[in-house]
Amino acid sequence: MGTRRKVLVLGSGYISEPVLEYLSRDGNIEITVGSDMKNQIEQLGKKYNINPVSMDICKQEEKLGFLVAKQDLVISLLPYVLHPLVAKACITNKVNMVTASYITPALKELEKSVEDAGITIIGELGLDPGLDHMLAMETIDKAKEVGATIESYISYCGGLPAPEHSNNPLRYKFSWSPVGVLMNVMQSATYLLDGKVVNVAGGISFLDAVTSMDFFPGLNLEGYPNRDSTKYAEIYGISSAHTLLRGTLRYKGYMKALNGFVKLGLINREALPAFRPEANPLTWKQLLCDLVGISPSSEHDVLKEAVLKKLGGDNTQLEAAECGVFLLSCRRFGVVIEYYMKTFFHMTAVASCWYT
């Protein structure tokens, strides 16, 4: 019988269950799951031997600190904006922490406090970022071992549904936060190409940065730059590279469909007045009528024509918009909607990566 360890998993979303399944393989790990989604943790409790704790860490910081203090490790699978709050609790109680999210400036600011506490906090330990970093360093280290100089580094990574299940206009299924997925299109990107820094603005113009992938032609893939690639020149130890690009992989048509959502205002950094807590319930039709500037009592054909006009006559983008059957507002993080439909979930995940 090995030493018993205590692990606190914060969050009960899509990526939480695979973590719980993995941790449950070791009978010496005592797992506690904290989440403000009571129904989700109750369902997880029926499948795994966990201690479910219903809590909202934003409103119950004292309870968070009490839980953290009893752990050997905290795994934060919450939205990235909440990681600094968790990290501060870990620093206070001198408990190690890991997360799959990118290291944000807010987390970076805590570096000295982490060192002073004598603990380890590691981010970017998911698929992308995460496994792609590990594969990158393995490849780079092997090249350096034989005396090679890295002149170009390009990688694309994506969690894709099996082709037979890419059965919606996005040709994608959510395996992690839908808000995170959709808001990625609003993120700007920076990469190095032939010695020149290329900046890509988020939003509608991001479609111009999409590239058709010429490998695995049967899968019909596209890729686009992912955030700031240039900072990895130092991290990877490849300052010699004249080209450095980290990108996201999707099936062709994904970005065009999302571009339509941006045009319509369905993906937006600013919250609409219609989604304020005190606002009246809103139907999908009423929302679209408001966004395209017509009366909510307009006939379906009139609405469809107005939406198509807003999309510049693009029928592919119209089809994607028409598939929005259920909508959820996400007021806390300033996102207008999550595009929420049954066929956008239950994915069979396939990860594809390419390195040069």
- Residue 346, judged by CB atoms within 10 A of its CB (0-12, 13-18, 19+), counts as exposed
Question: Which one from 128, 141, 208, 290 is the annotated catalytic residue?
Answer: 128
Q: Using CA atoms, how far apart are residues 32 and 66, in angstroms rounded to an integer?
A: 13
Q: Is residue 334 part of a domain?
A: no
**pLDDT level of residue 324 (50, 70, 90 thresholds):** low
pLDDT at residue 328, rounded to an integer: 31
Helices (H), the chain: 16-23, 38-47, 61-69, 83-93, 105-108, 111-117, 131-145, 178-183, 232-236, 254-264, 284-292, 300-310, 315-322
Q: Does 37 fall in a domain?
A: yes
CATH number of the domain where residue 172 is located: 3.30.360.10
Residues 6+ apart with CB under 8 A from 277: 331
Do 252 and 213 belong together in one domain?
Answer: yes
- 338 versus 151: which is more confidently predicted? 151
To the query of whether residue 290 is one of the catalytic residues in this protein, the response is no
Q: Domain count of the chain?
A: 3
Is 112 found in the same domain as 78?
Answer: yes
CATH of the domain at 64: 3.40.50.720
> Can you tell me the distance from the alpha carbon of 316 to that of 299, in angstroms, rounded to the nearest whole number?
21
Round to whole Å and give the CA distance between 219 and 242. Answer: 29
Q: Which of 90, 31, 98 is nearest to 66 (CA)?
A: 90
Assess whether 195 and 90 both reside in one domain: no
pLDDT of residue 3: 85
Instruction: Say whether both 39 and 105 belong to one domain.
Output: yes
% of the chain exceeding 90 in pLDDT: 75
* Same-domain status, 93 and 171: no
Confirm whether 131 is domain-assigned: no
For the entire predicted model, the pTM comes to 0.84
Is 70 exceeded by the pLDDT of residue 6?
yes
pLDDT surpassing 60 at residue 54: yes
Residues 98 and 155 grouped into a single domain: no
351 located within any domain: no
The per-residue pLDDT of the chain, averaged, comes to 89
CA dist 174 and 37 (Å) reads 18
Residue 346 belongs to a domain:
no
User: Do 77 and 159 lie in a common domain?
Assistant: no
- 275 pLDDT tier (thresholds 50, 70, 90): confident
- The answer on pLDDT for 336 being more than 70 is no
Do 187 and 255 lie in one domain? The reply is yes
Pair (118, 158) in one structural domain: no
What would the two tokens of residue 256 be?
């065009």
Asked whether residue 49 is assigned to any structural domain, the reply reads: yes
Asked if the structure places residue 225 within a domain, the reply is yes
Where does a domain end: 259, 278, 294?
A: 259
Distances (CA, A) of 47 to 27, 42, 51, 135: 15, 9, 12, 32
Instruction: Give pLDDT, residue 259.
Output: 94
pLDDT of residue 106: 97
Q: How far apart are the first and last CA of the chain?
A: 45
For residue 230, give its domain range: 151-259
Strand order in the sheet with 73-76: 50-54, 29-35, 5-10, 73-76, 96-99, 121-122
**Helix (H) and strand (E) counts in the chain:** 13, 15
- Do residues 47 and 155 share a domain? no
Of the CA atoms within 13 Å of residue 24, those in its CB half-sphere come to: 15
Residue 265 inside a domain? The answer is: no
